[in-house]
Amino acid sequence: MNIGIAGTGRMGSAIAQRLLECGHAVTVWNRTPEKTRAAQAAGARLAGSAAELAIGAETLITILTNATAIDLVYRSPQGLLAGEVKGKLFIEMSTVRPEAERALAAEIAAKGAQIVECPVGGTVGPAREGKLLGLAGADDAAFERAKPLLDQMCRRVERCGPVGAGATMKLAVNLPLIVFWEAFGEAMALVRPLGFDAARLVELFTDTAGGANVLKNRAALVAKALAGEDTGPATFDLDSMRKDLRTMLEEARSRGFELPAAASVLVAFDQAAAAGQGGIDGVRIPAYVVTRSAAD
Ligand SMILES: NC(=O)c1ccc[n+]([C@@H]2O[C@H](COP(=O)([O-])OP(=O)(O)OC[C@H]3O[C@@H](n4cnc5c(N)ncnc54)[C@H](OP(=O)(O)O)[C@@H]3O)[C@@H](O)[C@H]2O)c1
């Protein structure tokens, strides 16, 4: 299939490499041109603009930071929707509020094209291996058309309802995940005087009712971080988590309720970012919380 990917950040690059490996012809475009290099090295072609990308591809995939990025990539004069896109399929995978996906879906439908929103769980590694968790929102026809491709990107695709439902589910899935990193760090601060070795502590917590799946999946890296060792480049960093927390809080407030746990973690993470920690991966957050607590 002829696929265009607009947005080759961490996730977009990994997805491009995965789809090339699956045998698709992939063309990419990114606002910052240098970030297309990894995808190009893996065999992707480069488009001169998002509009050119959309004209040349049958299916367009976007995975971008936020609603502002969606606005620029789709709606600018050289954006994805600038040219004739009738009959094309758009798969929008960013983590944003449902209203952003619904507004985009209406514009895409008005142009005679189809859309599936499919924000994902899982980070760069699962994206590279086609093992994401897809949380889709779409009408029947668009979903059926997108499903074979989604199955190449995801270990599981859960159709949550019409467009907007996937975004709602994605924000919900990330809430306990993000709160967990802070909560686990606070737990580590509590047990610090016991003097346990980091690997033993993490292993013990993975065997408790409070040990989240993410701890089980990333135990070795969390233990390394707690032991003060290097854990490699960040995949899902603290600044991205702050963005997701703000998005959850906006969504809840627009519907008339509060999210006290998410709100207090955002305060803690804003302070961490102000202290220069915005780029750290989730696996390093517990170690940061222990250091922060020791300094209090
Ligand atoms: N990283 C993860 O583990 C993970 C997991 C699941 C879902 N997600 C979600 O996936 C999305 C992408 O995450 P990521 O980690 O791949 O982020 P990233 O590496 O920071 O990449 C973000 C992408 O969005 C583009 N972008 C940002 N602002 C833009 C703007 N104003 N105009 C045009 N393009 C813009 C960036 O282009 P430039 O290169 O020009 O900045 C880049 O292509 C986010 O919604 C995130 O919440 C991430």
Q: What's the pLDDT score for residue 296?
A: 76
Structure tokens at 146: 């997108």
131 CA to centre of ligand 1 in angstroms: 19
- Give residue ranges with CB within 6 A of ligand 1: 7-12, 30-32, 35, 63-65, 68-69, 72-73, 94-95, 120, 123-124, 235-236, 240, 244
Asked if residue 295 has pLDDT above 90, the reply is no
**What are the residues facing 188 on neighbouring strands?**
none
| Mean pLDDT in residue range 10-23 | 98
Q: How far is the CA of 254 from the centre of ligand 1 (A)?
A: 24
What pLDDT score does 54 carry? 98
Question: pLDDT class for 131, splitting at 50, 70, 90?
Answer: very high
How far apart are alpha carbons 121 and 273 in whole angstroms?
Answer: 23
Measured by CA distance, the residue closest to atom 4 of ligand 1 is 123
Is the pLDDT at 280 greater than 80, yes or no? yes
Q: Is the pLDDT of residue 247 over 80?
A: yes
Between CA 238 and CA 264, with CA 233 as vertex, the angle to 5 degrees is 10
Residue 120 has pLDDT above 80, yes or no: yes
Q: Which residue has the tokens 């142009």?
A: 111
Question: Residue 181's pLDDT is what?
Answer: 98
pLDDT score for 127: 98
Candidate from 10, 34, 49, 65 with most ligand 1 atoms within 8 A of CB, to mutate: 65
The pLDDT tens digits for 92-113 are 999 999 999 999 999 999 999 9
Residue whose Cα lies nearest atom 5 of ligand 1: it is: 123
Decide if pLDDT at 123 tops 80: yes
Could you tell me the distance, in angstroms and rounded to a whole number, from the CA of residue 66 to the centre of ligand 1? 7
What pTM did the predictor assign? 0.96
Residue 11 CA to ligand 1 centre (angstroms):
7
pLDDT recorded at residue 141? 98
Confidence of residue 217 (pLDDT cuts 50, 70, 90): very high
Q: Is the pLDDT of residue 83 over 80?
A: yes
- Cα separation, 51 vs 225, in Å, equals 43
CA atoms within 13 A on the CB side of 22: 22
- Position of tokens 């250091």? 291
How remote is the CA of residue 7 from the centroid of ligand 1, in Å?
A: 7
